[in-house]
Amino acid sequence: MLVFHRHSIQEETEDKRMAANRAAWFLLCWEHQAAQAALRPPPPCRAARAGPRRPQAPADPTLAASAPGRSAPSLSLASVLTSVLHFLQERLRLPQDVSFENRGRRCDRSKNGAISLTFPVFRSWKRGERRPLHQAGSAGAVALATGGTASAEGPGRPGSLQDETLGVASVPSQWRGVQGICRETKSCQTASIATAEASAQVRKHADAQVQTEAPVPVTVLPLSQHDTSRLTAFLRRVEAMVIRELNKNWQSHAFDGFEVNWMEPQQTVSCLHTLGYPPAQGQGLHVTSVSWNATGSVLACAYGRLDDGDWSTLKSFVCAWNLDRRGLNPQQPSAVVEVPSAVMCLAFHPTQPSHVAGGLYSGEVVVWDMSRSEDPLLWRTGLTDDTHTDPVCQVIWLPEPRHSHRFRLLSAAADGKVLLWQGAGTGQLQLAEGFALLVQQLPRSTKLKKPSRGETEVGVTAVAFSSFDSSLFILGTEGGFPLKCSLAAEEVALTRMPSSVPLRAPAQFTFSPHGGPVYSVSYSPFHRNLFLSAGTDGHIHLYSVLQAQPLTSLQLSHKYLFAVRWSPVRPLVFAAASGEGDVQLFDLQKSSQKPTVSIVQTQDGSPVYCLEFNSQQTQLLAAGDANGTVKVWQLSTAFTEQGPRETEDLDQLAAEVAT
């Protein structure tokens, strides 16, 4: 590409010098041309192959052929030229600052390496073209252009050829700067890579089972032949003795009247605790209901008012005391729940020690979890079409028919509906089954006083379930007549009340009425046919399920009777709460006419509204009154120890069914 005619070194110094000058001149010219070419667009290849148009062209074909871009080849060419020039200078020992003149052209090379060319410029301009002064060195190419443009002379000045001396065109050497400059960073950036992470997880599980061996049930051994003879001999020997002893039993009086008491007998009934909640008492609230929990250690009571009219916006409380805890403060319950509406009845869950259900004055049924101090509300019915329109008088937990460890909630209210609620997942109680009582659909086993027309509901005031037959229950009504009902009743109730579940008429049998509404019924836990009902006429009726007339009727008080409960341990004992402020305990074995013990709860004669026996600690009885206090009574052992022959006596009592 670069043809360099190298003169032989052996020539004379003069020749050498001349040659060196000429070479240097050529090189400089080439450098200059290279710089020029940098600013001119490279001519098309065809033109280049055709031959140079201009005298300065020789460098151009090379440039054009090899130039993909403007600046790069001129870079390399110029730098090559410069380096060659420097090489030559070194070899020929040319002084650094050399200047020579040739036919009017002057070339100066100063010490710092700047080469300045001075040459006559022939005024042969192409029309419209500028001929700026160049400075070699592509780093300064743009600067050259600008610099050159500034000092260029305007075109179109025709005139005769004249020699002019133009300004110095200095070409800075690239020797020193060659290392530093000419660096162009080119970088390319790929498009940003989008990454996404996805992971999958494989679940490995291993089944491990542990099984204890079921205890092998010991079965009765069949006897082999060999043993039979021995057994026969043994029995022969023993039989006589056994028969003799059995006979002695029947004839012996040794144990007549002999009764052993393993515990310290307590002769009297005493008050263990007097519990109250001062803020509720300050508002004058009554205790409407008490309930013991599944373990028998927590007592909950509900505050409200029982003598309200039709509407009440009273706030109420549900308080729970843990009686087994040390440091029990009677005035400070261990858990208090504030309820926006008055709570009329309470029932603890039979197996969960902290869940308690309550029926409100507004007709709602709510379940709380007393172990949670913030937001104890578990489930509620809300105010839908299904909820009661009257205050709920009683709530009872019932085991589900198929899953006996799960429970449903039954609520009864004065609007005549008995509803079964199921806890759904969202905290909402949903109606599972429903019953409605209408006067027209009551069985006519007893002549009722005022059969009314139309579809009148029968208000329910009390519910009691049989412990022998889980679908049989007794309802106490506002009309004073208890009703025997069944959960399995099929007859559809002719009611216009809207409901999501079809309501059925549950009544199967009507008993003869009290003189006033029945406020409480209680089914005997020892006998499948007996139940008690207490009404506002102050009487207690002992009914047998088999007949409409009561077996016995006892007058306990001249005022209302609010609650009656059978004792869970003694078949012949029951307790009643009266409006005169006392709790009366009856022992039918001792006396069937008057109460065995009459406990005075309130000093001022305000009524006792509710009472409950503790089925785990059988000597405890809780009663709540109108002053807002709950008293826990410890019963004497006479009431907790089952005496001999009680069950038989009860059977005898029940057998007095009038024929």
Partner 1 sequence: AEVEETLKRIQSHKGVIGTMVVNAEGIPIRTTLDNSTTVQYAGLLHQLTVKAKSTVRDIDPQNDLTFLRIRSKKHEIMVAPGNLAFNFICKASLYLTA
Which residue, 239 or 400, is less far from partner 1 as judged by CB? 239
Strand order in the sheet with 573-578: 561-566, 573-578, 582-587, 597-600
Which residue, 122 or 234, is less far from partner 1 as judged by CB? 234
**Helix, strand and coil percent figures for the chain, each rounded to 5:** 20, 30, 55
CA atoms lying within 13 Å on the CB side of residue 251: 6
Which residue, 45 or 657, is less far from partner 1 as judged by CB? 657
Interacting residues of 239 by C-beta distance below 8 A, sequence separation 6+: none
Which residue, 108 or 649, is less far from partner 1 as judged by CB? 649
Q: Do 293 and 324 form a contact (C-beta atoms < 8 A)?
A: no
Which residue, 97 or 648, is less far from partner 1 as judged by CB? 648
Cβ 403 to partner 1, closest distance in Å? 25
Query: Using H for helix, E for strand and C for coil, what is the string for 379-399?
Result: EECCCCCCCCCCCEEEEEEEE
Which residue, 246 or 600, is less far from partner 1 as judged by CB? 246
Cβ 655 to partner 1, closest distance in Å? 12
Query: Using H for helix, E for strand and C for coil, what is the string for 137-205?
Result: CHHHHHHHHHHHHHHCCCCCCCCCCCCCCCCCEEECCCCCCCCCCCCCCCCCCCCCCCCCCCCCCCCCC
Which residue, 543 or 639, is less far from partner 1 as judged by CB? 639
SS3 306: coil
Which residue, 219 or 593, is less far from partner 1 as judged by CB? 219
SS3 84: helix
Which residue, 256 or 310, is less far from partner 1 as judged by CB? 256
Please give the Cα distance from 468 to 472 (Å, whole number).
9
Which residue, 232 or 332, is less far from partner 1 as judged by CB? 232
Name the pairing type of β-strands 503-504 and 429-436. parallel
Kindly list the distances between the CA atom of residue 421 and the CA atoms of 135, 355, 407, in Å, as whole numbers in the listed order: 102, 15, 9
Tokens of 437: 């009582």
Please name which of 271, 344, 305, 346 lies closest in space to residue 603, comparing C-alpha atoms.
271
Which residue, 246 or 494, is less far from partner 1 as judged by CB? 246
| 574-606: b (≥16 Cβ within 10 Å) or e | bbbbbbbbbbbbbbbbeeeeebbbbbebbeeeb
Interacting residues of 51 by C-beta distance below 8 A, sequence separation 6+: 57
| R_g of the chain, CA atoms, integer Å | 59
The terminus-to-terminus CA distance of the chain in angstroms comes to 143
Cβ 218 to partner 1, closest distance in Å? 5
Cα angle: 552, vertex 556, 562; to 5 degrees: 105
Cβ 241 to partner 1, closest distance in Å? 6
Please name which of 123, 133, 127 lies closest in space to residue 163, comparing C-alpha atoms.
123
Which residue, 217 or 257, is less far from partner 1 as judged by CB? 217
Kindly list the distances between the CA atom of residue 302 and the CA atoms of 86, 344, 348, 515, in Å, as whole numbers in the listed order: 113, 7, 12, 28
Residues within the interface to partner 1 (CB under 8 A):
217-221, 223, 227-228, 230-232, 234-239, 241-243, 245-246, 249-250, 255, 644-645, 648
What is the secondary structure of 199-240 as a DSSP string? Answer: -------------PPPPPPPPPPPPPHHHHHHHHHHHHHHHH
What is the secondary structure of 313-326 as a DSSP string? Answer: ---EEEEEEETTST
Q: How many other CB atoms are found less than 10 A from the CB of residue 305? A: 18
Please give the Cα distance from 424 to 404 (Å, whole number).
17
Which residue, 296 or 643, is less far from partner 1 as judged by CB? 643
Cβ 242 to partner 1, closest distance in Å? 6
Cβ 231 to partner 1, closest distance in Å? 6
Tokens of 276: 């109250």
- 521 — phi, psi (to 5°)? -130, 150
For 176, left (φ over 0), alpha (ψ -120 to 50), or beta? alpha
Which residue, 236 or 496, is less far from partner 1 as judged by CB? 236
Quickly count helices (H) and strands (E) in the chain: 8, 33
Rounded to the nearest 10 degrees, what angle do helices 59-66 and 13-39 cross at?
A: 50
Which residue, 186 or 253, is less far from partner 1 as judged by CB? 253
Strand partners, 50: none
Cβ 486 to partner 1, closest distance in Å? 31
Cβ 252 to partner 1, closest distance in Å? 11
Which residue, 526 or 609, is less far from partner 1 as judged by CB? 526
Cβ 372 to partner 1, closest distance in Å? 41
